[in-house]
């Protein structure tokens, strides 16, 4: 069995080759490299056609898989080459940006944003190369363990793992974005809707459940903070397929906090408010 990947980011080369060996696959790669804020083929893109043709000539075509990543434009002569291989029984995989876990782009809006890790995960999943992953709830817990400013309040994660498995990628992406938001202490250099939307996650600031946090000094309320802000995916379907993530964040007394209040299926209609007390010893 053999696999040829067209347009793989060069920083994933060693990792992919090692995994292919574990899967009993012989890999060949046409790499792209980062040039400032975009990726380009290296060597120049015409070479990938010749490389694919040479590789295919060495393999039994029914045992060959070709993956065409969608982030760098292909040379015109690649299309007929792929069609010939498909007609002869080669498995051709052509992911679509922004669908089934594939990121919209390789480079984000911030200078340090790079989505090649998401590309690798989507590629491994697309190929059916099983990997052991933590539960969705565990991903959020690990983030809170890494950063003292990240607080999971009350029973926020009790229903997290009830969400349908088809939405687990949304949960994972959201967990990563919230962790990064906390790491940067909220300084993401753009509006929150753009920050989450750049990774295909929808941020809502109205509707749904109202969350209220009372900042307490001993038994005295020093501030009340209310919000409807939440991350969401899916509408007009079963609750377990409509995950919701309610959170708040604050900057006060030179302190940053990220509070996670609910991660789970779409809340029932009778759940209209979540209220939590948080002790605040600063200021």
**CA-CA distances (angstroms) from residue 110 to 107, 151, 187, 240?**
8, 26, 11, 33
Looking at the chain, the whole-number percentage of residues with pLDDT higher than 70 is: 96
State the pLDDT at residue 45.
67
Both 120 and 141 in a single domain?
no
End position of a domain, from candidates 96, 126, 156 = 126
Structural domain tally of the chain? 2
Residue 273, CA distances (Å) to 21, 202, 210, 212 in order: 51, 21, 5, 7
Mark whether 168 and 100 lie in a shared domain.
Answer: no
- pLDDT at residue 112, rounded to an integer: 54
For 241, the domain range is 136-279
Burial class (CB in 10 A: 0-12, 13-18, 19+), 108: middle
Q: CATH code at 103?
A: 3.40.50
| 131 found inside a domain | no
pTM assigned to the model: 0.66
pLDDT tens across 46-99, in order? 899 999 999 999 988 889 999 999 999 999 999 999 999 999 999 999 999 988
d(CA 264, CA 161): 7
Cα(139)–Cα(133) distance, rounded to whole angstroms? 9
**Sites in the chain below the pLDDT cut of 70:** 45, 108-113, 130-132
Preceding peptide of 43 cis, ω within 30°:
yes
Q: Clarify whether residues 96 and 197 are in a common domain.
A: no
Of 88, 105, 126, which residue is a domain's last?
Answer: 126
- State which of 97, 126, 155 marks the end of a domain: 126
If asked whether residues 251 and 121 sit together in one domain, one would say: no
């Amino acid at each position: 069995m053999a696999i040829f990947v067209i347009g793989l980011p060069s920083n994933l080369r060693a990792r992919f080759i090692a995994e292919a060996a574990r899967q009993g696959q012989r890999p060949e790669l046409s790499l792209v490299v980062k040039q400032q804020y975009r990726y380009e083929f290296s060597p120049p893109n015409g070479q990938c056609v010749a490389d694919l043709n040479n590789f295919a000539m060495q393999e039994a075509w029914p045992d060959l898989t070709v993956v065409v990543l969608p982030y760098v434009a292909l040379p015109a002569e690649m299309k007929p080459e792929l069609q010939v291989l498909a007609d002869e029984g080669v498995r051709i995989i052509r992911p679509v940006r922004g669908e089934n876990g594939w990121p919209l782009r390789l480079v984000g809006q911030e200078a340090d944003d790079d989505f090649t890790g998401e590309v690798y995960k989507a590629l491994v999943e697309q190929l059916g190369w099983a990997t052991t992953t933590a539960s969705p709830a565990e991903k959020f817990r690990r983030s809170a363990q890494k950063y003292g400013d990240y607080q999971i309040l009350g029973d926020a994660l009790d229903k997290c793992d009830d969400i349908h498995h088809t939405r687990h990628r949304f949960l994972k992406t959201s967990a990563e974005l919230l962790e990064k938001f906390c790491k940067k202490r909220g300084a993401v250099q753009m509006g929150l809707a753009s920050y989450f939307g750049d990774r295909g996650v929808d941020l809502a600031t109205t509707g749904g459940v109202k969350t209220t946090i009372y900042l307490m000094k001993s038994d005295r309320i020093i501030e009340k903070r209310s919000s409807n802000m939440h991350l969401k995916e899916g509408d007009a379907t079963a609750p377990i397929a409509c995950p919701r993530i309610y959170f708040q964040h604050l900057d006060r007394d030179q302190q940053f906090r990220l509070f996670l209040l609910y991660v789970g299926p779409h809340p029932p209609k009778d759940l209209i408010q979540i209220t939590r007390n948080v002790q605040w010893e600063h200021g």
